[in-house]
Structure 1
Amino acid sequence: MKYTFPNNFWWGAATSGPQSEGRFNKVNKNIFDYWFDNEPEKFHNGIGPNVASNFYHSYKEDIAMMKSIGLNSFRTSIQWTRLIKDFETCEVYEDGVNFYNSVINECIKNDIIPVINLNHFDLPIELYEKYNGWESKHVTDLFAKFAKKAFELFSDRVKYWATFNEPIVVLEGQYLYKHHYPQIVDGKKAVQAAYNLNLASAKAIREFRNMGCNKEGGKISIILNLTPSYPRSNSNEDLRAASIRDMFFNRIFLDPAVYGKFPEELVELLKNDGVIWESTEEEDRIINENTVDFLGVNYYQPSRAKAREEAFDESNGWMPDKYFEFYDMPGKKINTHRGWEIYPKAIYDISKNIKENYNNIPWYISENGMGVEGEEGFKNSEGIIEDNYRIEFIMDHLVWLHKGIEEGSNCFGYHLWTPIDCWSWNNSYKNRYGFISLNLDDQSKIIKKSGYWFKIVSDNNGF
């Protein structure tokens, strides 16, 4: 069967500034720079963000390689700590301005649509040390000032923006499950940070529209990793467990982004538990009035939930896990390298959910991908990695995405994570995701089999 996608469909890939650029000529530090400088042993093989994929130096060659494999769109992020010298006044680093101008211009020169995100977990350490980061309303104002500066500098050429990538991961990583610095466990702080991240996004969107960027063809989004929450069974208990998990890990950002308000049941639950965020009517109004134009959706794996069978451990205080447990479904297909379930049908379920429950807002797959360890073991005699598993993974997901589009969901693109193997927080380069392989020893880059395959898909607008 031939799967043909809508005209002008985005065939692309995504990365981020802190995961690709390296720290060259970057004086300010984000929380990961700081964490690596102080605890390098926490990072896989002791590899930090200092060099990453060397994009700071090789962006011209890298973007040319992206063009050669058929990418017509490319998402990356502007590092707050590279662009801005003084976070209060928003004085810029000229080197940062020049670099991002050059990247954007190089994309346009190669007929690649630049999609720019403003925050990819990379909070400046200074703002954490001074204000406790996203726990602070002041930091939401500083973020809006940073966003305004980025719009002033680049919106004449960048027409597709995102405020945040995966804000739920900030809660999971920093405040709940100790994946990211500062590795604290505090559910109440996580709830406040959730509100403030929504507020920061809305303030940035307000700046975007106040500046008239939307009148010049610009559109602004937020990028959410939506993990459909499937109940173990149809029992009332399991259905409620999955619903609460969905509200906290998906809808806490999805509903404010599209509708400007939080799920009422979630608000009541947090109030009853005594952990509701602090907010004002004015802040609620800002969130309500500044919703997104489109959505970026990152999808890797589903979530499966069941009613709690073991007593909740209250030693760490309130946690959303109080209401559900993870359900390990027997017989599931799994990526053994990453430990994640492979369930392509969820992309169809996401497409139906957006169509039926979120006004069929325009959206695209902003990340999807398969991380594999030890890929060098799949090289052929010509030195090319034959990643047939990645081709199969992408194809299986595109089949289900196509079905959702055929049934009317307003999806306009697919981006793989990632164009070139990139650095990944404290996992560093343990798992590789790219269309293009990176040799850490000499920074050489070679297109994988999946990259050649994707060029054919892009050229044919399907497969």
Structure 2
Amino acid sequence: MEKMKSGFPKNFLWGGATGATQYEGGFNEGGRGKSNYDYICSIPNARKKGIRHIGELDYKTYCYNKKNENKLYFPYRRATDFYHHYKEDIAMIAEMGFKVFRMSISWSRIFPTGEEMEPNREGLQFYHNVFDELHKYNIEPLVTMTHYELPAALVEKYNGWQSSKLIELFLKYSNTLIDEYKDKVKYWITFNEINALICHPFTSGGFFIEKTGKNYFSAIYQALHHQYVASALTVKYLHETAPNCLIGSMIARLECYPYTCKPKDVAATLLEDQINFFSFDIMARGEYPKRMYRYFEEQDIHIEYVEGYENILKNNTVDFLALSYYMSYVVSDDEDKREEPGYLVKKLKNPNIPMTDWGWGIDPEGLRITLNRTYDRYKLPIFVVENGLGTYDKFVDGKIHDNYRIEYLKKHIEKLKEAIDNGVEVLGYTTWGCIDCVSATYGEMEKRYGFVYVDADNEGKGTYNRYHKDSFYWYKKVIASNGEDLD
């Protein structure tokens, strides 16, 4: 038997990740239209008030925010202003030695309302400029076609992904991206964390439950169905027109454990796992699992299926799997601890692992477990496209000493290496928010992930100047040594 090589492969893609909604800014420049995120306003002290997500707007709040947009602060409109800082930011990640940079394209920058006959040429040119700048430093772009974003006009006219019309409009958008950038972008992802729609209908799907006339989960899985079909048809177009490119699907993967060894807790954990893997089952295997049809029946979930969807899904599966991993969680079937399966952030805490300042469990071992389980299940290459520690950073005399971030990433990279040594095929690793960006949950700047500090606060006040953190130099050393030097 041939001895397996250990360690990271020579062509391993080290880098970092961002998303246009939280990072790009320039919301009213270059012909860009408004997106759903442009109407999410800041809510001071939202966490202390018990709000779980400032972006989950109902229709009444959306209309209020739109009517009063000159009086409210919308943190995602400027974000961290990559639109004006892209050359500086790319030079910084090049200094760290990035091999790959994950970013997303703003749908409303390309088709401002989503229904234009022709794309916005100024928007297309902006991303050409970004890709050219990346290639100047030999950095490979990894592009997410939509990262929690769609034109606001499609929210208002069609109730977002609740309508099958969005399949056609998304294909016009995604096919335009492929035609325009297929010679500059090799790696593509259709939807960011597609399974987040289960708990985030507005931010992930651009629709209002109360306008659907359906129960909550019928509306959720209807919108997901439309996204699955749109993703598969995008895969089809890329495979036909850009065979040198690779396209993947992405989920938010949170490894789950039974809260106890009671059989009912194990059974509840199994269901949680089945729902968490559901999107991969469809996009990697090309079919709805029978167990999910049973779940739909038990939960009174009714879907209007797109004609011919079974063949569309079956014949257009993805080339690789992408996942975010931040934490693991525990599942209980006890009535006082039971939570809705599929929700990405749980209230029940694992007493055996430490927590971040935002209450997310720190579990590096869970990353190794997740990678092994995912690869065993699908036998497809995996891209870890988000992982990182969101916490407070102290900016003192132009310096940020973030040894806590280094320790977090070091332990996760060690477990990533173990998974690779176990035979898991991992294409690359991109840490989330490599340059500080606005939080997706609360619109905060104070929850920071990056190797680069952006001088801005929760109200958008600051110089927006960029500063290296200690972790910047550490990650530079990690990349230069191909993951061997983690000290």
TM-score by length of 1: 0.89
Partners of 1:269 and 1:287 in 2: CA distance: 20
Letter in 2 for 1:29: K
Range moving further from structure 2, 341-350 or 47-56: 47-56
Partners of 1:191 and 1:399 in 2: CA distance: 37
Superposition map of 1:194-343 within 5 A:
194-211=224-241, 213-214=242-243, 217-248=244-275, 250-280=276-306, 282-310=308-336, 320=341, 327-336=348-357, 338-343=358-363
2:83 matched to 1:65? Answer: no
1:351 shift after superposition = 1.5
2:360 matched to 1:345? Answer: no
Q: Deviations over 1:174-201 (max 9, x none)?
A: 27x9998758682221121222221121
Q: Is the 8 A contact 1:247 1:263 kept in 2?
A: no
Letter in 1 for 2:40: W
Q: Deviations over 1:275-301 (max 9, x none)?
A: 032214501211121111011110001
2:39 is matched with 34
Match of 1:363 among 382, 389, 411: 382
Counterpart secondary structure, 2:146: coil
Identity %: 31
Match of 1:82 among 81, 105, 109: 109
1:358 shift after superposition = 0.8
Q: Deviations over 1:135-158 (max 9, x none)?
A: 111101211111000011111111
Q: Is the 8 A contact 2:7 2:421 kept in 1?
A: no
1:47 shift after superposition = 5.0
2:48 is matched with none
1:66 shift after superposition = 0.7
Summarize the Cα distance change of 1:423–1:179 in structure 2 as closer, same or farther, 3 Å threshold: farther
Partners of 1:222 and 1:285 in 2: CA distance: 18
Counterpart secondary structure, 1:295: strand
TM-score by length of 2: 0.85
Summarize the Cα distance change of 1:454–1:206 in structure 2 as closer, same or farther, 3 Å threshold: same
Letter in 2 for 1:209: H
Counterpart secondary structure, 1:437: strand
Which structure has more helix as a fraction of its residues? 1
Summarize the Cα distance change of 1:183–1:334 in structure 2 as closer, same or farther, 3 Å threshold: farther
2:466 matched to 1:439? Answer: no
Letter in 1 for 2:373: N
Partners of 2:38 and 2:161 in 1: CA distance: 18
Partners of 2:111 and 2:416 in 1: CA distance: 38
Counterpart secondary structure, 1:209: helix
Superposition map of 1:66-215 within 5 A:
66-85=93-112, 87-174=114-201, 182=208, 186-211=216-241, 213-214=242-243
Range moving further from structure 2, 421-430 or 290-299: 421-430
Partners of 1:420 and 1:286 in 2: CA distance: 38
Q: Is the 8 A contact 1:49 1:423 kept in 2?
A: yes
2:478 matched to 1:451? Answer: no
1:115 shift after superposition = 0.8
1:235 shift after superposition = 2.4
Summarize the Cα distance change of 1:82–1:265 in structure 2 as closer, same or farther, 3 Å threshold: same
Q: Is the 8 A contact 2:331 2:338 kept in 1?
A: no
Match of 2:23 among 17, 20, 25: 20
Partners of 2:34 and 2:416 in 1: CA distance: 39
Summarize the Cα distance change of 1:362–1:321 in structure 2 as closer, same or farther, 3 Å threshold: closer
Counterpart secondary structure, 2:200: helix
Q: Deviations over 1:37-61 (max 9, x none)?
A: 953999xx94512221111111111
1:316 is matched with none
Letter in 2 for 1:404: A
Letter in 2 for 1:454: Y
Letter in 2 for 1:334: M
Q: Is the 8 A contact 1:78 1:116 kept in 2?
A: yes
Partners of 2:184 and 2:113 in 1: CA distance: 25
Range moving further from structure 2, 67-76 or 166-175: 166-175
Counterpart secondary structure, 1:240: helix
Letter in 1 for 2:433: T
2:3 is matched with none
Q: Unaligned 5+ residue runs, structure 2?
A: 1-5, 42-61, 457-461
Match of 1:55 among 77, 82, 87: 82
1:311 shift after superposition = 9.9
Superposition map of 1:373-388 within 5 A:
373=392, 375-376=393-394, 379=396, 383-388=398-403
Q: Is the 8 A contact 1:192 1:277 kept in 2?
A: yes
Q: Unaligned 5+ residue runs, structure 1?
A: 314-318
Counterpart secondary structure, 1:370: coil
Q: Deviations over 1:336-395 (max 9, x none)?
A: 2x2100001111111111221112x1112100011112x125x4x5x2211000000001
Q: Is the 8 A contact 2:259 2:331 kept in 1?
A: yes
Partners of 2:303 and 2:206 in 1: CA distance: 22
Letter in 2 for 1:430: E
Q: Is the 8 A contact 1:222 1:295 kept in 2?
A: yes
1:321 shift after superposition = 7.7
Q: Is the 8 A contact 2:160 2:205 kept in 1?
A: no
Provide the aligned length of Structure 1 versus Structure 2: 441
2:428 is matched with 413
Range moving further from structure 2, 51-60 or 24-33: 24-33
Partners of 1:137 and 1:178 in 2: CA distance: 16
Match of 1:396 among 411, 416, 425: 411
Partners of 1:179 and 1:161 in 2: CA distance: 20
Letter in 2 for 1:406: D
Partners of 1:308 and 1:396 in 2: CA distance: 33
